[in-house]
Structure 1
């Protein structure tokens, strides 16, 4: 789905509008005019992400709609992940305008919100891994819960956390807030490794007997 993942915390997204020595506002591009290659590389990657990511995510959405009659239990999480990634892929034009042309600080809040939404995409990946884990390791419980609405509740809870995180990132004045991203990524990565590792062990039980 998403082709490029960039944590905005280490790039331009947290910078407010800058002021020149003469007192006038200047753009990020003007501030970094001595090293334009960095900005051009960053924007180039963002537009590659947009041109490849949007068609890919739209194809995923189309396939989910086409195969609605033969859907899997994880489709609801894949659907929301594709929507989230498509949402994120729309920001490069605004980011280009904000870095090269605009000096207002209001667009930084919008961009931080977009990046906050993207930061939480591992939540939906974790939900997919959890669903597959239950199907492989606990098939009886999985079958009993398959037709219930807990997946919709899980997706709604993931969106609630995502929007709360994005709003907090948009505000931008919470001390040590960047640590929340680090904790989120590490926790989601560890959880997905745990689920996938157990699934792999269940598919290849002979490996543990050797």
Structure 2
């Protein structure tokens, strides 16, 4: 008898335990709704303000983000109505109706954003074809119709007490949205991982061509500071190979630079003969005199006179030196 009494739980104690658990879950739900309302509302309102005022890329390119932010504002209002329904029983149906925004609106607009990014990266030609705003408006209008139907569906299922149908329907919807988003994500990552046309060409470049490009880089003219460093290292009793390795300069260049310094005492380029004159000073003075005597003479007439005298000059030099 004592054992039966010790193991028996009275109905009052069981009712108190259930009431405490229900109150704990309700308190946790109120806390999460408060966090969502306090932080979600200002953030999404700021996003909507940025898109509408044109601070970002514009309404056309961020139309799906705009609709998602509006949907999230509705979820935040649903949190507010959920808190108020504890004190006002008249609005208890409104939070149930707005559950469609959470179950359908959020994943649906996220899927539209993922599909848009997928087309932009993987199929850019198709993306440019459907880039105008009217296609986004059509997609969002269809999405809002589905969201409205989901809201009425939530209201009907909860009041009809078909809890199992409710859970199965929205679990299937969640898995479908998740699979679409994962497919778009993996496809975009694979597309970004592949090398582009220019990079693929560099990878498959001919070894002879690569060696020629390296030799071309080696033949670039050395700066005067680098030439001075070569001479300084040589004066510090450092060998040719060591200087070539330290300064990344070909061995033959190091040898020629040191030989040049030993012969001429400088590292700068030696003054050369320069470019040969295309026209001599005597012929230039003759052209100037002809122009001074007859300013209306054309370059072709001067060229004909000079050719008759045994001098061959092209027209551009007559224009340049005669200042016609």
Q: Quickly name the TM-score band, shorter chain normalised.
A: 0.7 to 0.9
Tell me the residue number matched to 2:110: 125
- Are the structure 2 counterparts of residues 117 and 32 from structure 1 closer, same or farther at C-alpha, using a change threshold of 3 Å? farther
Tell me the residue number matched to 1:140: 125
C-alpha contact (below 8 Å) 2:107/2:177 kept by paired residues: yes
Deviation for aligned residue 1:186: 0.5
CA deviations over 1:110-135 (Å, ceiling 9, x no partner): 11111122211100000000011011
TM-score for both structures, normalised by structure 1: 0.75
Tell me the residue number matched to 2:50: 63
CA deviations over 1:22-64 (Å, ceiling 9, x no partner): xxxxxxxx99642333222210111001000001101111121
Deviation for aligned residue 1:146: 1.1
Alignment of 1:67-86 (within 5 A): 67=54, 70-71=57-58, 74-86=61-73
Structure 1, unpaired ranges of 5+:
1-29
SS of match in other structure, 1:70? coil
Deviation for aligned residue 1:144: 1.8
Deviation for aligned residue 1:201: 0.6
Tell me the residue number matched to 2:100: 116
- Are the structure 2 counterparts of residues 86 and 69 from structure 1 closer, same or farther at C-alpha, using a change threshold of 3 Å? closer
Which stretch shifts more, 168-177 or 78-87?
168-177
TM-score for both structures, normalised by structure 2: 0.50
CA–CA separation in structure 2 for the residues paired with 1:148 and 1:87: 24
Count of paired positions: 175
C-alpha contact (below 8 Å) 2:115/2:184 kept by paired residues: yes
Tell me the residue number matched to 1:202: 191
Deviation for aligned residue 1:68: 5.8
Of 5, 17, 20, which residue of structure 2 is paired with 1:34? Answer: 20
Deviation for aligned residue 1:108: 3.2
- Are the structure 2 counterparts of residues 62 and 191 from structure 1 closer, same or farther at C-alpha, using a change threshold of 3 Å? same
Matched, 1:87 2:74: yes
